[in-house]
Amino acid sequence: MGEIRLFRADQLSDLVQELNSSFQADLGCILLIDRALQPKQIQVIEQNPGIICLATGHQAWKGIWPSYVMGYVDDPNDREQLLWALESAKRFLDLRHENQQLRFRFNVEGEKLDSLLRSALEFSEERDPLKLCDKVLSNIRRQLRAEGASLYLADPDKSELKFVHVQNEKVKVPFSSFTLPIDESSMAGACAFRKKVVHVPDVRKIPRTETFKFNDSFDKRVGYTTRSTLCIPLIKSKGDLVGVVQLINSKRDTTFTEEDIEIGRVLAAPIAASLETALLYQDIERLFEGFVKASVTAIESRDPATSGHSERVAEYTLNLAQSVTVSKEKEFEAIRFDDHSLKQMRYASLLHDFGKIGVPENILQKEKKLYPDELEAILMRARMVKLGHPDITKEIDFFIEQVLRHNEPTVVHKEAGDILKKFLDLKYSVLGEDFILLTEDEHQKLSLQKGSLTADDRSQIESHVEHTYRFLAQIPWTRELKRVPEVAYGHHEKLDGTGYPRKIKVPEIPFESQIMAIADIYDALTAPDRPYKKSVPVPRALEILKEDASRGKINSSLVELFIAQKAFELKD
């Protein structure tokens, strides 16, 4: 990993010394400033083009960025942010260099150049590809004063351009995706094929020497008249094509000028770099989504009866979190979840039971009080005793009948223990071998008062929360998602400290976990029938939530909101 050296404003002379000495930082030396510099310091920066100056502390700047600021970093301790800002600053410097050349060639006024620099910064800050496409087209149309613009992204594998975004201030253009081959048959295709600007000052007077013709189907379809077009290739520093921007109808002159073309060329580099970064970021997000989906499939394949649980819990959790965000209730006034927090909750909910991967399958799928092999062992001994002692056939049949009956998790008899107790430790000799009808351990399991799980089974199942936490804590989450492990960790805790595994109480239980707990309980109750558990009707499930809330187990305000806003309704 390369090293980034950080210097504060009062260490400026050290930074200059470092740059002048033999030291070479792998990734760069950064001057980090949280307030405007003194004139003398500005002079030093201007005299040392190797200094990369990044601002920090958004509040102090109030949106006014001095010309020597090349980028912004919110948290300089976050390496990912720092690398991002460094990359942006390098683009900024490239652009400044190109601007200087432009200034020389066209004597363009300073305001315009500043505006170009700000554009590059604006592009580099946007990570959402769709929003970036919109920003790019608005910006380039403003700079080049064009009525309309289209953006195409290149697919080098298929050798085609994909139409991804359009703007036109004169007509409303219905968007429909299509592709163009990267060849000489269209203006945008030729621009991509040649990797050169294609300027057509008058689309009705295309020279005969050109390979493409003007396609007027768009004009006819939306009632528009295209006069001039300018296609600019978006090329990365290594020469790879990212896409094409096509501008339509200059508003200033009858056609686009040489200066427009130069500005377009200058803007193309930061647009290409920003688009590529945003698409890469999107790919990483998709990759991670794929990993989360695969993890969910892995959990649910362990226990097919709980299929869909994680997805449903995520949906109920987000429904409730969004209801909190828009709620006008006083207690929720200060709680507003942004997109990042919602994503954090979504991942935490999708993966909350991932730790079940560490719980033996036979426990997860246990339907009766005894495991099948345990039951089989009792029945086998009973049959042997019956064979050896035909005189007690009736008693043994009664014993078998009671074992089968008490093995059902739904059978809760106060006297369960007593009925079977008389068979406890009864020993019969058959063919010289002793057979015990019922052992102490078997009797205890069949005497369970509730459900099918013994204390040991239960503690193994409950251990899934610890497994989940350990697994999630190993993932290097980004800053926006770093609380995923903590949020998932609290999904079985109760407000009064009677939950598990840490038995923490309300102030320590993250609010997001309190939301998730309600979603989790609701789904466990209403999930489709399982072999060992009937589905609870919705009104009864809501009653149970209210009862839990009134006993101080789960957040009552959240339960009220869950019911009032029908957060338990799924979209499909």
Residues that bind Fe ion (CB under 5 A): 353, 520
Q: How far is the CB of 49 from Fe ion (least distance, A)?
A: 57
Q: How far is the CB of 468 from Fe ion (least distance, A)?
A: 7
Nearer to Fe ion, 126 or 520 (CB): 520
Nearer to Fe ion, 147 or 353 (CB): 353
C-alpha–C-alpha distance, residues 309 and 300, integer Å: 8
Q: Could you write out the DSSP letters of every residue in 226-242?
A: ---EEEEEEE-TTS-EE
Nearer to Fe ion, 300 or 520 (CB): 520
Nearer to Fe ion, 512 or 520 (CB): 520
C-alpha–C-alpha distance, residues 245 and 165, integer Å: 10
Phi/psi-derived region of residue 180, left when phi > 0, alpha when psi is between -120 and 50, beta in every other case: beta
Q: How far is the CB of 300 from Fe ion (least distance, A)?
A: 11
Local structure of 249: helix, strand or coil: strand
Which among 223, 213, 160 has a CA at the least distance from the CA of 187?
213
C-alpha–C-alpha distance, residues 286 and 291, integer Å: 9
Taking residue 348's Cβ as centre, other Cβ atoms within 10 Å add up to 29
Nearer to Fe ion, 90 or 464 (CB): 464
Nearer to Fe ion, 353 or 512 (CB): 353
Which among 426, 420, 425, 428 has a CA at the least distance from the CA of 445?
420
- Please, what is the Cα angle at 548 between 547 and 550, to 5 degrees? 65
C-alpha–C-alpha distance, residues 521 and 316, integer Å: 11
DSSP-derived secondary structure letter, 115:
H
C-alpha–C-alpha distance, residues 277 and 283, integer Å: 10
Q: How far is the CB of 353 from Fe ion (least distance, A)?
A: 4
Q: How far is the CB of 313 from Fe ion (least distance, A)?
A: 6
Q: How far is the CB of 517 from Fe ion (least distance, A)?
A: 9
Nearer to Fe ion, 167 or 468 (CB): 468
Nearer to Fe ion, 91 or 491 (CB): 491
C-alpha–C-alpha distance, residues 302 and 291, integer Å: 17
Q: How far is the CB of 462 from Fe ion (least distance, A)?
A: 9
Q: How far is the CB of 520 from Fe ion (least distance, A)?
A: 4
Q: Please, are residues 430 and 468 in contact by the beta-carbon 8 Å criterion?
A: no
Q: How close are the terminal C-alpha atoms of the chain, in Å? A: 47
